[in-house]
Structure 1
Amino acid sequence: MKRLKSIMLAACAAFIAIALIPTQQVSADSAALSIIPKKNYTIEAGKSAKDTLLIRNLDTEKDLNLSLRVVDFTYSDDSGTPKLFLAEDAPQTTWSAKPFLTLPQTVTIAPKASKSIEMGVSVPVNQGAGSFYSAIVYSSSAPEGGNVGLNASGVTLAFVDVPGEVKEDLKLEQFGAYNPAGDKKTGSYVKFATENPKNLAYTLKNSGNVTEAPAGTITIKPLFGKERIISDINPNKSLALIGQARTYTTCFKLQSSEVDFQGGSAKTTACSDSDLWPGFYKLDIGLYYGQNGNRTQDLQGSSWFIYFPVWAIIVLILALIVIGFFGYRAYSSVRNKFGKSKKSSHRK
């Protein structure tokens, strides 16, 4: 029994040590430029539209001198991070919106002031249906090929959808519980989790000629207890670009909080612990997608994962030790009694 007590004390100490490991916090600085990050247009072939780009200089002392140019972009990985083609001789992509967009090449904005820049979007009369997109790059110095983080002050992504009969083809490649990237370049799907899971994810491959913003629900089914439904698994209407295999992440549970932002307050949301009990969980996903004027299509999928935290593993091990200990004692007791009765019968 003394040995059993020492094992239990050591296990509890290990569990407490794991629970007290501190988490790291990450902060980010804001730039001196405020722009609209994304513009969406639906324009028929042969027609055009006028729009404005609002640019704000957050600097309180200096003028903001910007050069503007349109470049193409694609995806850099399975997230939503765009990869800009900044080189002057970069070939034009098949989905480029550069021929559609007109805007001034330079702009100067006074300190703490805003300026609206006129932009034209014109689709040629013989343009076929599909999605087209490019990026408007705002540079505080002459733009050169290279790392966008060194030269560009900001980027607005411009998406132009030309209605008509298009090719829509999304495939569900993977789905399940998910560990975010952390220090790694990409995250990973998990089947067995020892920490309370916060994220679910699904990876879609877009083989069509239009961008897609899927919508749908995920159902979480435990072996025992009530199922849980996540009703909006793409709340930001994030796009899967042409040719991209994009991984969308969603939260088991959302937590809202107020944060200080530029002298005021803003509401932010983040994933929190799922509050799941240890056990086996089945996952079902139902997705639908489709451009306006085209048939809505759906995707179905299923997966599973096991959540078994460290404390549950410790409890299970201790339970097995206790069961084994008392089981062995019971077995020894029965064997001794059976042996004694057998010896007494032989003597008779």
Structure 2
Amino acid sequence: MYHFRRLVAAATAIILVSNTLPVLAQQAPSGSGISISPTTSDFTIARGQAQKLDITLKNITVGNITAQAYINDFTSDNSTGSPRIITDPNKKLLTSIRDFVIGLDDVPLKKGEQKKLSLALQMPANVSPGAYYGIIRFKAVPAGENAPESGEVALSASVGTIVFITVPGTIKEQVQLTALHVYNGKHEGTFFFRKPTDIGVEVRNLGNGLAKPFGTIELQDMFGKSAYNYQLNSTTPRGNVLPGSSRIFINQTKNISKPGRYTVMASVAYGSGSEVLVLDKTFWYIPGWLMVVILAVLAFLALTAYWSYRHHRLSLKRPHRRKG
């Protein structure tokens, strides 16, 4: 009977697998994708002047494609600095680069082919000083026999390069150091049973240009000794904070080994570095095992006090014998 059940189970599995494989084969996409470089470009272009933007595209799919070109505006997510792309073509921001990009067209790419595009970034003579930005995107659409027919939708991957343009002039530079954050993983707090892993520095750009904050973040223990320090926004190029938005720069922290109170001290500058913003934040690290010990000691002291008080009350109630 046992062997018969095993044979039935094996036969059932074979039937299920044989029926599933054709379905998976039908659902597997042919795959359309592009690689792009650079992913970010930063320019300073005066009024009435132009600069060249070179973009390299490569077809990394199994067939021929057309790289359809788009320009999208974006806003900040007010946290990580990742762009929130605005896909509505009818919505145009005042900071858009759409009118400044010249020579952008769809690009045919054969299998494995790589092409270099040269676009012009032309700033009008009457453009206002400040920051302009957008993302130039390319969507891979199958070409030739694999091209989608009329009424069909092709599920294709897209890539893009983010373009930042600063037009020099009278630009308002104002940055606010709004908050410091301490995290253990994704959890923020000021009292930790596990070692904090990251420090976040929140900066808000109140100006109309691109803010690139920098500075020193120092971690001090309860005795005022430096436990760890690092340079804020030290990448090349430095990360931007868009006008009217906030960004939290998160970095890993180290050397939190002993229990106790710690203080994060931030000294942040921007622009030419003539103004330095200072902010500090205190947090506690009490390991779980130490908290258990502390609670046990407190419980012992509370019980000891209770029994001492109870013994004292009972001793007062006892009758005293008279002498003689």
**What TM-score results when the alignment is normalised by the length of structure 1?**
0.70
Q: Offset at 1:347? A: 4.9
- Counterpart of 1:66 in structure 2 is 67
Q: Deviations over 1:84-131 (max 9, x none)?
A: 1212222x2111122211233211223233211111111112223211
SS of 1:160's equivalent in the other structure is strand
1: CA distance between counterparts of 2:188 and 2:212?
Answer: 22
Among candidates 297, 301, 305, match of residue 279 of structure 2: 301
Q: Offset at 1:158? A: 0.4
- Counterpart of 1:267 in structure 2 is none
Q: Deviations over 1:169-194 (max 9, x none)?
A: 1112211313554xxxxxx6421122
1: CA distance between counterparts of 2:197 and 2:106?
Answer: 45
1: CA distance between counterparts of 2:263 and 2:52?
Answer: 49
Question: What are the equivalent positions in structure 2 for 1:45-84 lying under 5 Å apart?
Answer: 45-59=47-61, 61-84=62-85
1: CA distance between counterparts of 2:32 and 2:301?
Answer: 62
For the pair shown, the structure with the greater C-alpha radius of gyration is 2
Matched-pair contact (CA < 8 Å) for 1:176–1:283: no
For these two proteins, the number of residue pairs brought into alignment is: 276
Matched-pair contact (CA < 8 Å) for 1:169–1:207: yes
2: CA distance between counterparts of 1:347 and 1:31?
Answer: 108
- Counterpart of 1:320 in structure 2 is 298
2: CA distance between counterparts of 1:162 and 1:77?
Answer: 23
Unaligned runs of 5+ in 1: 1-29, 143-149, 182-187, 254-273
- Counterpart of 2:257 in structure 1 is 276
Q: Offset at 1:328? A: 7.0
Identity of aligned residues (%): 23
Q: Offset at 1:304? A: 0.8
- Counterpart of 2:227 in structure 1 is 228
- Counterpart of 1:252 in structure 2 is 253
Q: Deviations over 1:218-250 (max 9, x none)?
A: 121211373134221213322111111222211
- Counterpart of 2:177 in structure 1 is 172
- Counterpart of 2:41 in structure 1 is 39
SS of 1:231's equivalent in the other structure is strand
1: CA distance between counterparts of 2:103 and 2:203?
Answer: 34
Q: Offset at 1:51? A: 2.5
Matched-pair contact (CA < 8 Å) for 2:32–2:140: no
2: CA distance between counterparts of 1:174 and 1:210?
Answer: 21
- Counterpart of 2:122 in structure 1 is 122
2: CA distance between counterparts of 1:347 and 1:159?
Answer: 101
Matched-pair contact (CA < 8 Å) for 2:32–2:157: no
Q: Offset at 1:325? A: 5.9
Query: How has the CA–CA distance of structure 1 residues 297 and 128 changed in structure 2, closer, same or farther, with 3 Å as cutoff?
Result: farther
Matched-pair contact (CA < 8 Å) for 1:137–1:152: no
Among candidates 267, 272, 293, match of residue 286 of structure 1: 267
SS of 1:232's equivalent in the other structure is strand
2: CA distance between counterparts of 1:71 and 1:136?
Answer: 7
Question: What are the equivalent positions in structure 2 for 1:104-123 lying under 5 Å apart?
Answer: 104-123=104-123
Matched-pair contact (CA < 8 Å) for 2:70–2:137: yes
Query: How has the CA–CA distance of structure 1 residues 224 and 116 changed in structure 2, closer, same or farther, with 3 Å as cutoff?
Result: same
Unaligned runs of 5+ in 2: 1-30, 143-154
The range that moved more, 68-77 or 316-325, is 316-325
Q: Deviations over 1:240-269 (max 9, x none)?
A: 11111222211103xxxxxxxxxxxxxxxx
